[in-house]
C-alpha cells in the first residue's frame, strides 16, 4: 500500500509533540506524476482534542500541461497547516478523515495539501501556445502549416 501511517496514540502520553521527516510515495493525481517520493517535514502537536500539523512538503513531479499536453517538471514546496479534531464528536467522514483511530494517513494528508495548492489548470508555461486546433501540432515547437496561429491574448 502507498500509505504512511503515523500512530498518533504516541502523542497521548507525556509527549505531545512529534517531529517527522519522511518521504511519502504519492500515486499520480491531478495531472501530476510523482517521479520522486515527496519530502515531508512536519511538526505534529496534540492538545486536548485537536491535532495541529505544521510543516512543508516538497514535491518533485511531472505535470501534464492542460493546453499542449506536454510534460514538464514541477518542483515546489507547499506549506502544510492543518488541524484536526480528534475528540469523540469528531466526524469520521468530515474533513479530518485523514485521522482515523488515532492513525494519521500521511500520504492522504499530503495529497490533500498538494491538491488544494494546485492551480485549477496546469500549464507548462503561462504563455503556452497550446496545440493547433486544426492539425494538432504543438505550437510551442513552432508554427504549423495551417498558418493562422490562434493564440489568444491573455490579461
Ligand atoms: Zn503547455
Ligand atoms: Zn495546424
> pLDDT tens, 90-116?
555 555 567 777 788 888 899 999 999
Going by C-alpha positions, the residue among 130, 114, 107 that lies closest to residue 25 is 107
Report d(CA 57, CA 42) in Å as an integer.
Answer: 8
Instruction: Give the number of whichever ligand sits closest to the CA of residue 67.
Output: 1
Residue ranges covered by each domain of the chain:
5-124, 127-155
pLDDT of 147 reads 65
pLDDT of 35 reads 87
56 C-alpha to ligand 1 centroid (Å)? 27
Q: Beta strands 38-47 and 71-85: pairing type?
A: unpaired
Query: Is it the case that residue 155 has pLDDT exceeding 50?
Result: no
Average pLDDT over residues 1-12: 72
pLDDT in tens, 28-58: 988 899 989 999 999 999 887 788 999 999 9
Instruction: Give the number of whichever ligand sits closest to the CA of residue 69.
Output: 1
Return the C-alpha cell found at 40. 515531508
147 C-alpha to ligand 2 centroid (Å)? 7
151 C-alpha to ligand 2 centroid (Å)? 12
Distances (CA, A) of 107 to 16, 27, 103: 22, 9, 12
Percent of the chain with pLDDT over 70: 82
pLDDT in tens, 56-85: 999 999 999 999 999 999 999 999 999 887
Instruction: Give the number of whichever ligand sits closest to the CA of residue 72.
Output: 1
Amino acid at each position: 500500500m502507498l500509505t504512511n501511517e503515523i500512530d498518533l496514540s504516541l502523542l497521548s502520553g507525556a509527549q505531545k509533540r512529534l517531529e517527522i521527516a519522511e518521504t511519502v510515495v504519492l500515486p499520480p493525481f491531478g495531472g501530476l506524476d510523482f517521479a520522486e517520493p515527496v519530502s515531508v517535514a512536519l511538526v505534529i502537536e496534540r492538545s486536548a482534542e485537536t491535532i495541529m500539523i505544521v510543516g512543508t512538503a516538497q514535491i518533485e513531479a511531472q505535470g501534464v500541461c492542460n493546453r499542449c499536453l506536454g510534460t514538464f517538471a514541477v518542483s515546489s514546496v507547499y506549506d502544510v497547516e492543518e488541524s484536526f479534531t480528534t475528540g469523540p464528536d469528531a466526524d469520521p467522514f468530515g474533513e479530518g478523515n485523514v485521522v482515523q483511530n488515532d492513525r494519521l494517513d500521511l500520504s492522504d494528508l499530503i495529497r490533500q495539501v498538494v491538491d488544494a495548492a494546485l492551480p485549477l489548470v496546469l500549464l507548462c508555461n503561462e504563455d503556452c501556445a497550446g496545440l493547433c486546433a486544426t492539425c494538432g501540432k504543438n505550437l510551442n515547437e513552432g508554427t504549423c502549416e495551417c498558418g493562422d496561429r490562434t493564440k489568444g491574448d491573455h490579461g
